[in-house]
Amino acid sequence: MKVLNDTRTAFARELGPELRQPAGLLFTMLLPFLFLALFAPLLSAAGPAGGGTGTSSSWQWFVPGMLVLLALSATAGAGASLLNEMFSGAFERMLVTPLNRVAMLVGRTLKEVVILLTQALLILVLLLPTGFRLHPLGALAGLALLTVFGVGIGALSFALALHSRKQQTLFYGVQQMIFFPLLLLSGVLLPITQASAPTWLYVLSRINPATYVVEAERALFDGRFAETSVLYGLLAATAIAVLGVFAGIRGMRNASV
Amino acid sequence: MIHTRGLTRSFRARGETVEAVRGLDLDIEAGSVVAFLGPNGAGKTTSLRMLTTLLPPTSGTAVVAGHDVMTDPSGVRHRIGYLGQGNSAGSNFRVSEELITQGRAYGLSRAKSRTRAERLLTAFELDGLTRRTVGTLSGGQRRRLDIAMALVHEPALLFLDEPTTGLDPHSRADIWTHVLRLHKELGTTIVFTTHYLEEADLWARRVMVVDHGRVIADDSPEKLKAGLAGDRITLGTADRADAERAVELARALPIVHEVTADGTEVRIRTPHGDTQLPVLLRNLEAAGVRALTARLTRPTLDDVFLSLTGRTLRERADAAAPITTHDGA
């Protein structure tokens, strides 16, 4: 089928340079790495999950959030590469080919997700010697949820890049404006509860879809499936993915005749 | 190969509507080499972008390689090659990767993409660079790669938007050697824009002069130059009286466009300066007018543009002209 073939072509193109320079993977992993190394050990006994420093429960609470942070920081910048190609002429040359427009978006997004999953697995492997307990089925489900979330954020980033083709600054401005609030309001670093946060901040965090993804990841990586937080997280991630893919495809189609 | 009727495109810029292309009616037959010539902002690139399905026209129709750009863009894309003003190949990619991807984008099998890529690399003297990253190539090499990429699917029609801009004379000549060989061997129809006048003059068999979004002249370079600009004869005389008599004698020549005197200098525009000049000199001598100097200048396409618009191509289009926007150049 043409769409599948074209998706493979677009995906293979994007993956090529990554495979040649696997060290590039580490750069977009830097933020979660720094937090895991320099912040996680500070989580005290009075900390979020009630566990002591470096105990299994504090890792258990912190790591899933870091995976969401990874998904955000790694895929939110995905549009930057497309933006560069829009200005260099490489994207224009693709648009003149009969390559399917949906495939152009899906292929690029898939590459972002493959990179994300590789990075997430790398983090999990590196954490095995710590007190972090891996529940295989839960972790698998958690990574699946992370994939859906990554597809959404990556596709939204492409949509934003396509929308910013007349002024590059728009992309970076909007991306930064959304990225940090989304991150800080998701309770990745510290829990945002009714008791600990001012009401307005708590309300904002409940509006943030990333909050639900973080909570669902925490449940799943703890091996708990039958919780409403899992359902809400799945719904939030799916909504972002549907919105992102829809906006991205629209952007690709509008980029030419 | 290309047929357009009333093709227009307008842009909104700073609250104003700017008509970049106004009513383009083109008929370009297969096998021709056509140049779009005009100043910046004349609408050349916008026209090309409409013909290559990159930009939807505001109104009008365009049938390119037998397919309508609006109702069957995919049909057009399969049959045309396009070289934009930018760099087609991404700078982080390898030369061979981009060529093979391009073949795959046109639906060629992996094996076929690979053999086409190899053949093109040889034809464009890029073999030996296959494993290099595009960003490390020289300007000329990069442009050759871009053209090779536009040819992986062996299109019958090739659009080149300023193919040689920014290259050194040697690389420019090199690019044209490749393009013209392609035209000769495969009969590829070529439509290009350039702001190097001599390229339009040397390589195009048909030049369309574009200004303010309209085609204002359309013919072979020779006919344009002879008909619209003509040769220029410049005579130097000893005094004003001689100059005035020389003007009268020059006006009496069979086909003369324009005769002007400026002090002791007389300027004559005529389509056939090479045959007119000896006649004029004989007539002057017979009338006892002494010409001290005589100079014949062959016209350039810039002279054609000057006689059509009163401006040279080097000048920016005047204030009323469409302003150059990102996609309206």
In total, chain A counts a number of residues equal to 257
d(CA B49, CA B27): 17
Q: Between residues A239 and A227, which one has the greater pLDDT?
A: A239
Q: Between residues B88 and A51, which one has the greater pLDDT?
A: B88
Smallest CA–CA distance from B149 into chain A, residue: A93
Q: How many CB contacts within 8 angstroms connect chain A with chain B?
A: 80
- Check whether A52 has a pLDDT greater than 80: no
Calculate ∠ Cα A67-A68-A73, nearest 5°: 95
A12-46 confidence digits (pLDDT tens): 999 998 888 888 888 878 888 888 888 887 775 44
B278-321 confidence digits (pLDDT tens): 988 998 889 888 888 999 888 888 888 887 887 777 765 443 44
Taking an 8 Å cut-off on Cβ atoms, the answer to whether B54 and A92 are in contact is yes
Residue B46 has phi, psi (to 5 degrees) of: -60, -40
pLDDT for the residue numbered B320? 41
- CATH class given for the domain over B2-220: alpha beta
B235-246 confidence digits (pLDDT tens): 899 888 888 888
B45-70 confidence digits (pLDDT tens): 999 999 999 999 999 999 999 999 99
Task: For chain B, say whether A87 makes contact (Cβ under 8 Å).
Answer: yes
CB B165 within 8 A of CB B10: no
CB A57 within 8 A of CB A103: no
A16, containing H or E segment = helix A2-20
Q: Are strands B2-13 and B16-28 parallel, antiparallel or unpaired?
A: antiparallel
pLDDT for the residue numbered A257? 73
Taking an 8 Å cut-off on Cβ atoms, the answer to whether A90 and B90 are in contact is yes
How is chain B split into domains, by residue range? Answer: 2-220, 231-298
Q: Between residues A56 and A145, which one has the greater pLDDT?
A: A145
Section A6-11 average pLDDT: 94
Measured torsion, CA atoms of residues B181, B153, A80, B162, in degrees rounded to the nearest 10? 30
Taking an 8 Å cut-off on Cβ atoms, the answer to whether B93 and A13 are in contact is yes
CA distances to A103, B200, B318 from B308, rounded to whole Å, are: 48, 17, 14
d(CA A247, CA A157): 10
What pLDDT band is residue A132 in, cutting at 50, 70 and 90?
confident
Write out chain B residues lying below 8 Å of A97, CB-based.
Answer: 77, 102, 105-106
Taking an 8 Å cut-off on Cβ atoms, the answer to whether B77 and A92 are in contact is no
Q: A189 is in which domain, residue-wise?
A: 2-40+47-254
pLDDT for the residue numbered A1? 81
B178-215 confidence digits (pLDDT tens): 889 889 988 999 999 987 888 888 889 999 988 888 89
Helices (H), B106-233: 110-123, 139-150, 169-186, 197-203, 221-224
Residues 6+ apart with CB under 8 A from A116: A70, A71, A74, A75, A146, A147, A150
Of the candidates A16, A92, A256, which has its C-beta nearest B84's C-beta? A92
Q: Which A residues 126-185 touch B at CB under 8 Å?
A: 166
d(CA B300, CA B197): 8
Calculate ∠ Cα B10-B16-B18, nearest 5°: 30
Section B170-177 average pLDDT: 87
CATH fold for domain B231-298: Alpha-Beta Plaits (3.30.70)
d(CA B102, CA B154): 12
Write out chain B residues lying below 8 Å of A92, CB-based.
Answer: 54, 84, 86, 88
CA–chain centroid gap for A198, Å, is 27
Strand, coil or helix: B188: coil
d(CA A64, CA A51): 16
Chain B residues with CB under 8 Å of a chain A CB are 52-56, 69-70, 73-74, 77-78, 80, 82, 84-94, 97-98, 101-102, 104-107, 146, 149-150, 326
- Check whether A51 has a pLDDT greater than 70: no
The two structure tokens encoding residue B163:
């193919």
Of the candidates B80, B97, B149, which has its C-beta nearest A16's C-beta? B97
Bridge-partner residues for B291, per DSSP?
B237
Q: CA gyration radius for chain B?
A: 24
Write out chain B residues lying below 8 Å of A98, CB-based.
Answer: 74, 77-78, 105-107
At position A256, the amino acid (one-letter code) is S
Nearest-Cα distance to chain A for B262, in Å, is: 50
d(CA B81, CA B161): 11
Taking an 8 Å cut-off on Cβ atoms, the answer to whether B89 and A90 are in contact is yes
For residue B218, give the nearest of B209, B229, B230 by alpha carbon.
Answer: B209
Of the candidates B91, B98, B326, which has its C-beta nearest A88's C-beta? B91
Write out chain A residues lying below 8 Å of B150, CB-based.
Answer: 93
Give the Cβ contact number of residue B244 at 10 Å: 14
For residue B123, give the nearest of B104, B145, B142, B103 by alpha carbon.
Answer: B145
Smallest CA–CA distance from A91 into chain B, residue: B88
Strand, coil or helix: A42: helix
For residue B301, give the nearest of B234, B174, B210, B185 by alpha carbon.
Answer: B210
CB A149 within 8 A of CB A71: yes
Taking an 8 Å cut-off on Cβ atoms, the answer to whether A9 and B106 are in contact is no
Taking an 8 Å cut-off on Cβ atoms, the answer to whether B84 and A257 are in contact is no
CA–chain centroid gap for B223, Å, is 15
CA distances to A36, A44, A62, A146 from A127, rounded to whole Å, are: 9, 19, 12, 18
CB B62 within 8 A of CB B2: yes
Section B7-15 average pLDDT: 87
The two structure tokens encoding residue A4:
């599948």
d(CA B243, CA B236): 8
- Check whether B255 has a pLDDT greater than 70: yes
Q: Are strands B189-193 and B206-211 parallel, antiparallel or unpaired?
A: unpaired
To which residue do tokens 């909504």 refer? Answer: A239
pTM of the entire predicted model: 0.83
Task: For chain B, say whether A192 makes contact (Cβ under 8 Å).
Answer: no
Taking an 8 Å cut-off on Cβ atoms, the answer to whether B53 and A96 are in contact is yes
Task: For chain B, say whether A24 makes contact (Cβ under 8 Å).
Answer: no
B283, containing H or E segment = helix B273-286
pLDDT for the residue numbered B329? 37
Smallest CA–CA distance from B89 into chain A, residue: A90
B206-218 confidence digits (pLDDT tens): 999 888 888 988 9
d(CA A97, CA B73): 10
Work out the percent of chain A whose per-residue pLDDT is above 70.
95
pLDDT for the residue numbered A44? 56
